Amino acid sequence: MACDTNLADEFFQVKRHGDIAVIVPSPQVEHLPETLLEPAAQLVLAPLREDPPGQIIVDLSAVRYFGSAFITFLLRCHHIVVERGSDLVLAGVNPNIRELLRITNLDNHWALYDSASEAISTLGGAD
């Protein structure tokens, strides 16, 4: 299990700001095969399911692009907060990811912020 936890820690950081959870994926998620992304994502999401935050910010500032496996991860995060009547927001979204979100029509579901600090401030968390 320690090996699995290290897998999650290597690819994701989760920081809490009051009732806001900020998930920070590392740039390595761009190249992570779905067979490894899925277990890492499950380990990241498990504590969020046990103690759901009011809001989730996914800080994509270090990520240049991603594929369908990461979109599935985002949808799972979205599901966690929607059950509590809250929202998922994305921060640090570059033009390539914005275009992907536009093409998949997900830009209509999630607010996009230039930075995690802006999102935290707007959502009422302490930066």
Question: Are the C-beta atoms of residues 116 and 14 closer than 8 Å to each other?
Answer: no
Judged on CB neighbours under 10 Å (0-12, 13-18, 19+), 50 is exposed
Tell me which amino acid residue 26 is: S
Distance of alpha carbon 33 from alpha carbon 38, whole angstroms: 9
Question: Are the C-beta atoms of residues 11 and 26 closer than 8 Å to each other?
Answer: yes
The answer to whether domain 2-123 has CATH 2.40.50.110 is no
When pLDDT is averaged across residues 84-100 and rounded to a whole number, the result is 92
User: Which residue's structure tokens are 């490894």?
Assistant: 36
Distance of alpha carbon 28 from alpha carbon 70, whole angstroms: 12
Q: Give the per-residue pLDDT at 5.
A: 55
> What tokens were used for 12?
């994701």
Which neighbouring-strand residues pair with 111? 89
What are 37-78's pLDDT values in tens digits?
Answer: 888 888 888 888 888 888 999 999 999 998 888 998 899 888
Exposed e or buried b per residue across 56-72, where buried means at least 16 C-beta atoms within 10 angstroms of its C-beta? bbbbbeebeebeebbee
DSSP state of 83: T
Q: Which of 16-20, 30-34, 98-102, 120-124 has the lowest average pLDDT? A: 30-34
Q: How far is CA 65 from the centre of its chain?
A: 13
**Domain spans of the chain, in order of start:** 2-123
Q: Give the per-residue pLDDT at 31.
A: 83
